[in-house]
Amino acid sequence: MEITGKTRLIGIMGHPITHTLSPLMQNAAFTAMGLDICYVPLEVSPENLKKAFDGLRAMRFMGANITIPHKVPSATLVDRLEGAAQITGAVNTVVNDSGELIGHNTDGEGFIRALDEVISIHFPDATALLLGAGGAARSIAVAMAEKGLKKLFIVNRTRGRALELKELLHNHFPSLTIEALTSEAAGEDTVISSKIVINATSVGLGGDLKMPQVAVDRLTKDHVVCDIVYTQSQGTQFLLAARGKGATTLGGLGMLLHQGAAAIHLWTGKEPPIGVMRGALEPERTDNTADS
Ligand code: ATR
């Protein structure tokens, strides 16, 4: 990649940001597409998020990706929300449209596309157990609800946030049955009666060996277990445990790939080179049974 005076910038804002694989994947895509765009990691602490948004405007960034823990607060810092970001109130992609910052969310679409690569799920017959109620969890919940999901358990460390997500979903998808619980209150039945179990918390991030609080012993070969956290080894402890129980597993790299591809489409209006992007992630891609 050659950086010139004309190179346009796209950043990824997060805290921490050192674990991110997005620059590797997105820069490979821009190079393959022959675009003079450079994608850079931006470590932004929560108290500086507003200033960082002003910086994107001032320095005429072409756009940005937003990651943990900024997805929800970013929704109030853009000029306008579009699509899934409007429903979820969480932003993972910002497009700078001639000075107007537009907030989008491609996480849900990325999750569904990644899941489709591993298994076909008929959502109107399915119950899902969602661990977490942050920005990523919201996007996944909305994407599954849009597919007609029958029932959803939302299990979160903080009850208030789980209830907020329940309310949001109820307003947009009144026929979806929802139970919101704290991690302590969630019993084994939440696992037993679910087809899909998704860790959408940050537990396990950065190689942390902790597991989300859930009845792993109750997982079977009939479960599909997803972890939005991606790792550079065999997968998170949670996915390893799920695989040990015979479950079909999906690591975070598939979702990373597809949300990133959808973001490139938003920034450039062009089709992203999925194969090139997948290749850029290849050495880290061992936690995704889609490959095995
Ligand atoms: P993102 O927008 O990327 O989803 P987030 O909004 O900060 O990031 O959400 C992080 C999620 O991980 C939340 O569900 C959070 O639980 P709380 O709502 O209780 O904060 C969850 N989370 C983070 N650290 C956790 C931990 N150590 N144990 C359990 N849940 C955790």
pLDDT of residue 110: 97
What is the Å distance from ligand 1's center to 235 Cα? 19
Instruction: Give catalytic residues, as residue numbers.
Output: 71
Ligand 1 pocket, residue 11 CB under 6 Å: no
Q: Which residue's alpha carbon is at the smallest distance from atom 13 of ligand 1?
A: 134
Residue 215: name the closest of 236, 194, 233, 201 by CA.
Answer: 194
Give me the half-sphere count of Cα atoms (radius 13 Å) on the Cβ side of residue 68. 19
Structure tokens at 283: 């050495």
d(CA 65, CA 175): 32
- Mean of the pLDDT values across residues 11-22? 95
Q: Which residue's alpha carbon is at the smallest distance from atom 18 of ligand 1?
A: 158
Full DSSP string of the chain: ----TT-EEEEEEESS-TT--HHHHHHHHHHHTT--EEEEEEE--GGGHHHHHHHHHHTT-SEEEE-TT-TTGGGGTSSEE-THHHHH---SEEEEETTEEEEE--HHHHHHHHHHHH----GGG-EEEEE--SHHHHHHHHHHHHTT-SEEEEEESSHHHHHHHHHHHHHH-TTSEEEEEETTT--THHHHT-SEEEE-SSTTGGG-----SS-GGG--TT-EEEES---SSS--HHHHHHHHTT-EEE-HHHHHHHHHHHHHHHHHSS---HHHHHHHHGGGGGG-GGG-
Percent of the residues in the chain that have a pLDDT greater than 70, as a whole number: 96
What rounded mean pLDDT belongs to the chain?
94
The number of the ligand 1 atom at minimal distance from the alpha carbon of 136 is 4
State pLDDT tens for residues 149-163.
999 999 999 999 999
- For the whole model, what pTM was predicted? 0.91
Q: Are 191 and 215 in contact (CB under 8 A)?
A: yes
pLDDT of residue 167: 97
Any idea what the Cα angle at residue 14 is, between residues 113 and 213, rounded to 5°?
Answer: 65
User: Which pLDDT band holds residue 285 (cuts at 50, 70, 90)?
Assistant: low
State pLDDT tens for residues 86-143.
999 999 999 999 999 999 999 999 999 999 999 999 999 999 999 999 988 999 999 9
Q: Is 99 exposed, middle or buried (0-12, 13-18, 19+ CB in 10 A)?
A: exposed
What is the Å distance from ligand 1's center to 171 Cα? 23
Mutational test site, ligand 1, from 156, 168, 181, 236, max ligand atoms within 8 Å of CB: 156
State pLDDT tens for residues 223-235.
999 999 987 677 8
